[in-house]
C-alpha cells in the first residue's frame, strides 16, 4: 500500500517530532550543557542580603571550592531543596554561597529565619544581572566552583542528597585540600 503524496510530508514531520521527544525524555532534566563548565566562574561583588553595607563576591572564596546556589522565596523548587542544603552545609565540605535572585530582601530574610540558613553568605541580586552572567535559566540552580576558580558542574532544579552524592561529591577535594 502506497501513501498518497500529500501524507508523506506530515508523516515525516511527525516521525521527526516523535524522535525529538524520545531523545528528550531519556535525558536528565537537571543537566543542561553550560558554556561555563571548565571556565573561570563569572566574578561578582554584590550587597550582602543581611547587611547592604557588606559585600559578597567570588573573591571571598578564592583558593577553595564552593557552591553557588541560586534561590528565591517565590521559587517552589527552592523550598523543596532547602532541607538538602541544610544537610550539605552540616557536612562542612564546602561553603555554600546563596545568590538571592530577583527577590524581596525582607521576604528572603524571613525565609532564612524560619527555615534555617545553610549559607556561609548570601549575595543579593534583586535585578538578576549576576544570574544572567552565570547563565541562570531559573531558580533553583547550583554550581560547584573548584579551588582554581573554574566552574566544575551546574545543576538545574532542586538539589537533592542523591544528586549531591552523584554529581558534586566526586568532584570535591579531599578533606583538607582546597577547602
Domain of residue 131, CATH code: 3.40.30.10
| pLDDT at residue 24, as a whole number | 47
Pick from 79, 91, 146, 149: which is nearest to 120 by CA? 91
Structural domain includes residue 35:
yes
- How far is Cα 171 from Cα 167, in angstroms, rounded to an integer? 7
- pLDDT per residue, tens digit, the chain (179 aa), is 566 667 666 655 555 554 455 454 444 454 556 778 999 999 999 999 999 999 999 999 999 999 999 999 999 999 999 999 999 999 999 999 999 999 999 999 999 999 999 999 999 999 999 999 999 999 999 999 999 999 999 999 999 999 999 999 999 987 755 45
In a domain, 104, yes or no: yes
- For residue 10, is it within any domain? no
Domain around 152: 30-171
- 11 assigned to some structural domain: no
Residues 6+ apart with CB under 8 A from 65: 94, 144, 145, 146, 147, 152, 172, 173, 178, 179
Query: What pLDDT score was predicted for residue 8?
Result: 64
pLDDT of 78: 98
116 domain-assigned:
yes
The domain total for the chain is 1
DSSP notation for the chain:
----HHHHHHHHHHHHHHHHHHHHHTS-TT----TTBTSBPPP-EEEBSS-TTSEEEGGGGTTS-EEEEEE-TT-HHHHHHHHHHHHHHHHTSS-EEEEEES--HHHHHHHHHHH----SEEEEETT-HHHHHTT--SS-EEEEE-TTSBEEEEEES---HHHIIIIIGGGSPPTTS--
> Is residue 179 domain-resident?
no
119 in a structural domain:
yes
Amino acid at each position: 500500500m502506497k501513501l498518497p503524496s500529500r501524507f508523506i510530508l506530515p508523516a515525516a514531520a511527525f516521525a521527526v517530532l516523535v524522535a525529538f521527544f524520545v531523545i528528550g525524555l531519556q535525558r536528565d532534566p537537571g543537566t543542561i550543557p553550560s558554556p561555563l563548565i571548565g571556565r573561570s566562574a563569572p566574578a561578582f561583588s554584590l550587597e550582602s542580603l543581611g547587611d547592604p553595607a557588606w559585600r559578597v563576591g567570588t573573591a571571598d572564596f578564592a583558593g577553595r571550592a564552593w557552591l553557588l546556589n541560586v534561590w528565591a522565596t517565590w521559587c517552589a523548587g527552592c523550598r523543596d531543596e532547602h532541607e538538602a542544603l541544610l544537610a550539605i552545609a552540616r557536612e562542612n565540605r564546602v561553603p555554600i554561597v546563596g545568590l538571592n535572585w530577583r527577590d524581596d530582601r525582607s521576604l528572603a530574610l524571613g525565609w532564612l529565619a524560619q527555615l534555617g540558613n545553610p549559607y556561609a553568605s548570601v549575595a543579593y541580586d534583586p535585578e538578576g544581572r549576576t544570574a544572567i552572567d552565570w547563565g541562570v535559566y531559573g531558580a533553583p540552580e547550583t554550581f560547584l566552583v573548584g579551588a582554581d576558580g573554574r566552574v566544575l558542574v551546574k545543576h538545574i532544579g532542586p538539589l537533592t542528597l542523591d544528586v549531591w552524592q552523584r554529581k558534586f561529591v566526586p568532584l570535591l577535594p579531599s578533606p583538607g585540600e582546597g577547602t
